[in-house]
Amino acid sequence: MIMKRILKTRLFMRWMRKTDLTDALLEQAIVEMQQGLIDAKLGGNLFKKRVALPYRGKSGSVRTIIATNIKTRWIFVFGFEKNERDNINKQELEFLQRYAKALLACDDATINALIERSDLGEINYEEEK
């Protein structure tokens, strides 16, 4: 069985603390994406996914930018609230695409080292049987 890893960058974790976003909500977003519910393909293995916060619904909630190879690694790299901004700009997109490529190219030992240094956080979840 191939292990699926759901990760968060340090920047994302710092932003997440300012919201009502939880690991369980992020995990649910990944489940939805695996079912084909993707809000936008941004290119370069980047996707945008709306995540509903408690009591706010998706239209008034947060937007997340996720780097993924779709099968085994999902990395939340950036997030913002819709009331703060509409989207990311071209320079941010280009940077995030390069960042996604680098993170997705890392082997598990490197990912584990990044987690150990707190540059990445990992969401522990229950794999479906």
Q: What is the pLDDT of residue 61?
A: 83
- Rounded to the nearest 5 percent, the helix, strand and coil shares of the chain are 35, 35, 35
* Cα-to-chain-centroid distance, residue 60: 18
What does pTM read for this prediction? Answer: 0.89
Nearest by Cα to 45 from 82, 24, 20, 70: 70
Low-confidence ranges of the chain (pLDDT < 70): 1-3, 57-59, 125-129
Q: Which CATH architecture has domain 5-118?
A: 2-Layer Sandwich (3.30)
Domain regions of the chain by residue span: 5-118
Return the pLDDT at 14: 95
The answer to whether 6 and 56 have CB atoms below 8 angstroms apart is: no
Q: What angle do CA 73, 77, 35 make, to 5 degrees?
A: 50
